[in-house]
Amino acid sequence: MDEKMGEKHWRLEVTNPLQIAQGSCWKRLWEFDDDQVAAYKALIEELNRINDPVQLRIVGNSAWRPRG
């Protein structure tokens, strides 16, 4: 990603519920802006249907806080 992280309004995250017990949680994949939300929602619906148990979600980027 060329832009600095945190400059977009939304982010796409992924998790595998089968690995949560091993310390895995939601991981940020990439960020996008308002004009792409509808396309990502359609993509997520399809990918969540075929990629079980891996799940994707859209999250408002203002909630993201770097770990440290």
Q: Is pLDDT above 50 for 56? A: yes
pTM here is 0.67
Bigger pLDDT: 62 vs 46? 46
Give the model confidence (pLDDT) of 10-53 as tens digits.
Answer: 999 998 877 766 666 888 898 999 999 999 999 999 998 898 88
CB 1 within 8 A of CB 13: no
